[in-house]
Amino acid sequence: MRCQSGTTQGDETMFKFSPLAAAVLTTFSIQALADDSLSNQDQIGDFNYAEVNQDFTGPSSASQTQTGADNYALIYQTMTDSTATQKQTGVLNATFIEQFDNFNSHSSQTQHGDLNDAAALQIFNMDTTATQTQSGVGNFSAIWQEGMIQGETTIDQSGIGNTAYADQLYSENTQIDITQDGDDNFAAAWQDSSMDSQIDITQLGMGNEAFGDQFFADNSNTSLNQAGMYNYMESWQDSQSQSTSNLQQNGDFNELIVDQSFGSNNQVTVWQSGSENALEALQFQVDDAVMNLSQSGVGNYGEVYQEGVGHVMQLSANGDGNTWDVQQLDDYNVINFSQSGPGNELVSLQSGMDNYASGSSKGSNNSVDIDQSGNDNQLLVSQLYGEGNLIQATQTDMFNYANVIQGGMYNEAYVNQAGMSHSAYISQYGTGNQAVVNQQ
């Protein structure tokens, strides 16, 4: 074991440790009340322990490297302008970094091997970055950042059975970026009271789960992407304004939930491609929100709910046997839908005034059922280039308008209007079609 310490030049103090161990070796380094401090430790072997403490120092740097199995490394930095780096290679290793009340802090942990564990904690720091990279099987990675400005989190995992957590609290202009490559991965990201923040989660493989949660903030964005089979995804944005949620799934048997509640001017964009996908989208007690939802594949199902004023909903279904169940409550809402393929179904309910529903179906045996209650609502629906299609429209109260167009064979159109001063128009082209209008 070599130890060089106490080298002093002016206000500069340097501590350097280079340990070498075959079995068990413990190295401990403390730096306090020093300017421009540096600590460097290297360990080779198994069951090693390394710890660095830097308190009230100037631009400090701590670096620890361990090679072997069952090693443990810790770095603590308080009130420094610091950078901490740890690197491990082996099996069953663990690393931990804590940075408290620092300026322009950086922490980076890299692990290679199996069953690794990494955690980083940054509290009350300025311009901080925490980066953790793991490669192997059964890795765990967690980053907690609180009370910071311009903070950034990056977690990169490759292997099987990885788990990643990232949490940012009471921050501004922050970003979480998690990337996983392998099977049975799990990723979760939270941003609480963080303005102008971003969550990015990308997963590749089978059996992945992704969770993104943002609340009590404005101008934030969540982006979740999955590719593979048996994926599950959730995105929550609560009490937000001017925020967006972009979700994408590629593969089979996916399920997706997106929730935006208690805010205004938020937007949701969802794209599902594959088979047997399920989608649930909710915008509750918000105004002027936008939903763009698209499903492509076989046997997809979408359940959508919007409550508030001035919403816009865009629905697109390509494939066979897709089903949409849509509800819009309150006034000045818009639904635009598109169905392509046979056997698709849309059930829509609009409640309020000055709502608008329009869309088209291309294919055969498609079904559209739209119910509008309130005054001054409009409905325009077309089903073309197919046969055996069905349109059912119901409007109640006053001054509503319905216009239905069908082209092909053996199509059916039914318009029911109850109240006063309604208008209904049905146009059918082809043979064997049926049209019925009831006004009362």
Confidence grade of residue 436 (pLDDT, cut at 50, 70, 90):
very high
Q: How far is CA 81 from CA 56, 64, 106, 135, in A?
A: 9, 18, 9, 29
- Mean pLDDT of all residues in 302-320: 91
Say if residues 186 and 212 touch (Cβ distance below 8 Å).
Answer: no
Task: State residue 70 phi and psi, 5-degree precision.
Answer: 60, 45
Task: State residue 407 phi and psi, 5-degree precision.
Answer: -130, 135
pLDDT in the model for residue 206: 86
Residue 33, pLDDT > 70, answer no
Report the alpha-carbon distance of residue 281 to residue 291 in Å, rounded.
8
- Mean pLDDT of all residues in 312-322: 87
| 3-state DSSP percent of the chain in helix, strand and coil, to 5 | 0, 75, 25
Residue 336, pLDDT > 50, answer yes
The listed range with the strongest mean pLDDT (12-21, 66-75, 137-146, 390-399) is: 390-399
Listed as own residue / partner, the contacts of 325-329 with beta carbons closer than 8 Å and 24 or more positions apart are 325/301, 326/302, 327/351, 328/352, 328/355
- Mean pLDDT of all residues in 161-171: 91
**Over pLDDT 70: what percentage of the chain?**
92
Report the alpha-carbon distance of residue 252 to residue 421 in Å, rounded.
49
Residue 167, pLDDT > 90, answer yes
pLDDT in the model for residue 35: 59
Burial of 235 (C-beta count, 10 Å sphere; 0-12/13-18/19+): buried
Confidence grade of residue 304 (pLDDT, cut at 50, 70, 90):
very high
**Over pLDDT 90: what percentage of the chain?**
61
Report the alpha-carbon distance of residue 211 to residue 236 in Å, rounded.
8
Listed as own residue / partner, the contacts of 358-366 with beta carbons closer than 8 Å and 24 or more positions apart are 359/315, 359/335, 360/384, 361/386, 361/389, 362/386, 363/339, 363/389, 364/388, 364/389, 364/408, 365/389, 366/339, 366/342, 366/390
Q: How far is CA 110 from CA 118, 202, 203, 282, in A?
A: 9, 19, 19, 39
Residue 265, pLDDT > 50, answer yes
pLDDT in the model for residue 410: 95
The amino acid sitting at 83 is T
5 against 309, higher pLDDT: 309
**pLDDT 10s digits, 186-241:** 999 999 988 889 999 999 988 889 999 999 888 999 999 999 889 899 999 999 88
The overall average pLDDT reported for the chain is: 87
Report the alpha-carbon distance of residue 262 to residue 257 in Å, rounded.
17
The total number of residues shown for the chain amounts to 440
Residue 440, pLDDT > 70, answer yes
- Mean pLDDT of all residues in 248-273: 92
- Mean pLDDT of all residues in 308-326: 89
pLDDT in the model for residue 139: 87
Say if residues 34 and 8 touch (Cβ distance below 8 Å).
Answer: no
Closest by alpha carbon to 321, among 382, 366, 387? 366
Residue 387, pLDDT > 70, answer yes
Closest by alpha carbon to 63, among 94, 108, 123, 127? 108
pLDDT in the model for residue 29: 40
Q: For strand 390-398 and strand 25-32, is the pairing parallel, antiparallel, or unpaired? A: unpaired
